[in-house]
Amino acid sequence: MPIMNGLELAKCIKEQSPDTPVIFFTAFPETSYLLKAIELGVTGFVMKPVDTDQLLAVLDKASVPLLQRRVIRDLSWNWLHP
């Protein structure tokens, strides 16, 4: 990326929207790079070239907390506003 690298972008996203899942598509499997991404709160990794099954598994994992929060919010709203 010309303006910033993936780690810098992940840091910016997490600072502005901590609940937003960040998924890396990367060709850099170096341990230090992946550990830094985990420290920044990256939700998952998909290695290039992209494997569809791996991508779907990462998306599934990333979506669960979002869906749980939505269900809790909706249940809370319905309970408070019958």
Write down the pLDDT at residue 78: 74
Strand partners, 46: 25
| Residue 42 clears pLDDT 70, i.e. is over it | yes
Q: Is the distance from CB of 41 to CB of 22 less than 8 angstroms?
A: yes
Give the pLDDT band of residue 69 (cuts 50, 70, 90).
Answer: confident
Is residue 8 pLDDT above 90, yes or no? Answer: yes
Tokens of 35: 């550990």
Integer Cα distance of 36 and 31 in angstroms: 9
**Radius of gyration, CA atoms only, the chain:** 16
pTM flag (> 0.85):
no
